[in-house]
Structure 1
């Protein structure tokens, strides 16, 4: 009986993140992610330009496995007979206050289904592949895409030349309308003063 219990007990392996900050990068051994600018919110185009620069750098990098926590369990996905024998399901947990996640992106991340408020972490799973390693990479790719989307959501765009010209036209039209109204009021006043002179 003891042997049977030990064989049916689920096995759980955990890898925990190790993060070191150096200069303008988050270092994890040989891998490095660009350190995001310290911007709680994006309030103008200048701040958005800094954010865009970081996003472009981040897009070209992969999130190292060592920056997040992984647990593994038996998968109910594809894999044939291996499904109930091998821990191929990968579950990723990442604290939302990780130093490599931009401050301005965190409020958007909190609104996603992947956010767990009780632990303040991003939780992602994958059972798409038959191997544990592929599911790990799938989780990391999901996290990467999620952070890019959240970081891009609050960008403030500079108005295009067409939009700027449209605004200028509206301003000119408004000024012209005001001049016309002013001229009409002057004509009315002249008419009234002339009318009183005739009655006198």
Structure 2
């Protein structure tokens, strides 16, 4: 359900126009209404994580008044809803074989650099000791 509201009366882009024109959009969606449209994994995460838009009654209330256009604010509300659902749960991705090979190569290079650094430090310290066994 989308509803509109009057401007707040505070200074905003557009000056006095905010007092004359209703451009704010508010989206109120009960979680039960979203259930058939959202995968169960995301629905459980939404309830568990309790996004800032979730009310105590179980409704998602999202509003936007950032634009002078009510249509743009309505679209922004739907985008915020979409982002709230998507960001509620991170799903593991599949790593490609190319990426796995690249990581192995980077690990090998890193290990070689570490060994070279150790050897350099070892030689530097050995040079400080002087000759061994010749007195």
TM-score by length of 2: 0.57
Q: Which residue in the other structure is 1:100 paired with? A: 37
Match of 1:114 among 29, 50, 53: 53
- Go from structure 1 to structure 2 and tell me whether the alpha carbon gap of 1:159 and 1:81 turns closer, same or farther (over 3 Å shift): closer
Instruction: Answer 1 or 2: which has greater strand percent.
Output: 1
Q: Which residue in the other structure is 2:131 paired with? A: none
On the 8 A contact 1:87/1:132 being kept in 2, the answer is yes
1:134 aligns with 2:72: yes
1:80 and 1:72 mapped to 2: Cα distance?
A: 19
Query: Matched residue of 1:78: which SS?
Result: coil
- State the superposition RMSD in angstroms: 2.4
Offset of residue 139 of structure 1: 0.8
Unmatched segments (≥5 aa) in structure 1: 1-68, 167-200
2:75 and 2:39 mapped to 1: Cα distance?
A: 22
CA offsets, 1:8-51, max 9 Å, x none?
A: xxxxxxxxxxxxxxxxxxxxxxxxxxxxxxxxxxxxxxxxxxxx
Q: Hey, which bits of structure 1, 4+ residues long, moved more than 3 A?
A: 156-162
Q: Which residue in the other structure is 2:6 paired with? A: 74
TM-score by length of 1: 0.40
Superposed, 1:27-42 pairs within 5 Å as none
Unmatched segments (≥5 aa) in structure 2: 105-135
- Go from structure 1 to structure 2 and tell me whether the alpha carbon gap of 1:79 and 1:109 turns closer, same or farther (over 3 Å shift): farther
Offset of residue 78 of structure 1: 2.8
Q: Which residue in the other structure is 2:22 paired with? A: 87
On the 8 A contact 1:79/1:129 being kept in 2, the answer is no
Q: Which residue in the other structure is 1:5 paired with? A: none
Q: Which residue in the other structure is 1:65 paired with? A: none
